[in-house]
Amino acid sequence: MAPGGRRVLIVGGSFCGLLCGRDLTHAFLVTIVDAKEFFEYTPGVLRAFVKPKHFDALSFTLQPVIESAMQSKYIWGEVKTLDGEGRTATIKPIFTGTTEVIDFDFCIIAAGCNFGPFHKWGESLWFPTVHEEAIKEGSWPQFDERFIEGRRRHILDEYGRIGKLNKEKATVLIVGAGFIGVEWATEINHFFPDVKLTIIDFLPNCLGPLPKKAADYCNNYMGKNGIKQFYNKKYDKASKEFWTSIELPNGPDKEYVCIGVKASNYFMPKETLSEKGPGGGGWILMDMKLAVKTREGKTWGADHKGMPRIFAVGDCNYACIEEPGKKPSEWPIPPMPKISYPGEEEAVIACTNLEKVDKIVFQNRADDCCGKPVALHDMHWPWGAGMFATSLGPDDACFVAGANWEKNSGFMATWGSVAAVQKEIIEASITDEASYGLIGRLIWHFVHHTPIHLFGGGPVWGYTW
């Protein structure tokens, strides 16, 4: 334990939150708060809806992992408000009708995001509905997805609905041909081959800005498997011309919207949230150190020495650092995709910066063990943010590496069964790491804690120096 037992509050039991807890629990009193009782590996959850037993491979209850394996503290409850100046959080635990206030010395926000940009609360199948107010206005009030069994029952219910569509040879429209849309279409096609699938997108091809070779590979796969594709199509539910143009004059029997993300930072004051961005904004603003800042650019919750105490990592933050008068490609940090790797890299950098602030503020140390000044690290556009694995059912996939913020950048590194196995390994090892498994930790610890960076924008000697 650190001298004085400094308290770290982590908001969110996401993978980034668990990664932060794992890195900090050796030296701090760590408390992780999450509104649900379980971890779920979001990139793999699509398959659970067409193969329900797969959910067991993607999930586990948080309490045993956090409190027994990690030796930290877990609170099952929802953070209602976060006070930066007072360094307190107002929390509503799951089994109480009142709120409680806890204080902290440091805070890392790893609250993730939602995936339904057209819904008030971002509701979608791809992430459980766990916020109290969202549950009241949700589309499936019969399932309390704060419980792992409630989530499982919802998955089983949707599985039954798709089975019925398959039996009736019904038509299904998938709106959006990005990663989620393509994966969802091909998963349904594999497990329920009698469903008549149509997928549309407003862009000229699937997979958005990724290299043409990867997009063509996915297009060809869907075409060979009878999935109708229509591109350069703007979704317009009220237009008869639209339905006719995608060969569904009477509309589909079922629609799935697979477009974009939506912020769910309801506990944060507006002064710390973006006014724009995917899903209409609401993303937590951060500076180059990943410290939360206000719209005026001031460090939110800074201490008496002006040092940051609150950091935001992963899908909850704005995912870029703007510079007025410059194009996004010229910003200090161009927009990062909301996928696993950038969030994990941010988690490592935020934890390192937190430890450095602790040395400066609480231990009065100006130099490190090598005599160099203690200085916080800057975030950068991580090289791993350009890696994308897209499943095409359980037996096929394509893997893109080397992509960046430029359109059509990167290259298709693997495809077919090799890429499918590669994605399975990634999924299994990351879930194992999140559950504090030895193999997963050994694999991924060195991915994000490499002592030497020869490329990618990070410091040459890593983040531990």
| 350-380 pLDDT, tens digit each | 999 999 999 999 998 888 777 788 889 999 9
- Residues 39-58 have pLDDT tens digits of 999 999 999 999 999 999 99
226, 243: one domain: yes
Share of the chain above pLDDT 70, in %: 98
Which pLDDT score is estimated for 372? 82
145, 254: one domain: yes
Per-residue buried b or exposed e for 149-185, using 16+ beta carbons within 10 Å of the residue's own CB: ebbbbbbeebbeebeebbeeebbbbbbbbbbbbbbbb
Asked whether residue 304 is assigned to any structural domain, the reply reads yes
146, 237: one domain: yes
148, 35: one domain: no
Partners of 76 in beta bridges: 34
Asked whether residue 444 is assigned to any structural domain, the reply reads no
Asked whether residue 428 is assigned to any structural domain, the reply reads no
Q: Last residue of a domain, which of 351, 375, 399?
A: 375
108, 49: one domain: yes
Name the pTM for this structure. 0.94
Residue 464 pLDDT > 70:
no
Which pLDDT score is estimated for 465? 56
Strands 171-175 and 254-257: parallel
328, 361: one domain: yes
303, 249: one domain: no
Asked whether residue 463 is assigned to any structural domain, the reply reads no
16, 26: one domain: yes
Residue 35 pLDDT > 70:
yes
pLDDT, mean over the chain: 93
CATH number (domain holding residue 303)? 3.50.50.60
246, 267: one domain: no
152, 236: one domain: yes
Residue 13 pLDDT > 90:
yes
Asked whether residue 417 is assigned to any structural domain, the reply reads no
- Residues 127-185 have pLDDT tens digits of 999 999 999 999 999 999 999 999 999 999 999 999 999 999 999 999 999 999 999 99
Residue range of the domain that includes 294:
7-116+262-375
Q: Choose the weakest-confidence range: 27-31, 54-58, 257-261.
A: 257-261
Asked whether residue 191 is assigned to any structural domain, the reply reads yes
Asked whether residue 253 is assigned to any structural domain, the reply reads yes
Total domains in the fold of the chain: 2
Q: Last residue of a domain, which of 217, 232, 260?
A: 260
Residue 407 pLDDT > 60:
yes
63, 80: one domain: yes
253, 269: one domain: no
Q: Last residue of a domain, which of 230, 260, 290?
A: 260
- Residues 207-224 have pLDDT tens digits of 988 899 999 999 999 999
Which pLDDT score is estimated for 396? 97
Q: What is the mean predicted confidence (pLDDT) over 442-454?
A: 79
- Using CA atoms, how far apart are residues 55 and 79, in angstroms rounded to an integer? 26
Asked whether residue 370 is assigned to any structural domain, the reply reads yes
Kindly indicate the confidence band of residue 1, based on its pLDDT and cuts at 50, 70 and 90. Answer: very low
Per the model's pLDDT, the better-predicted residue between 375 and 274 turns out to be 274
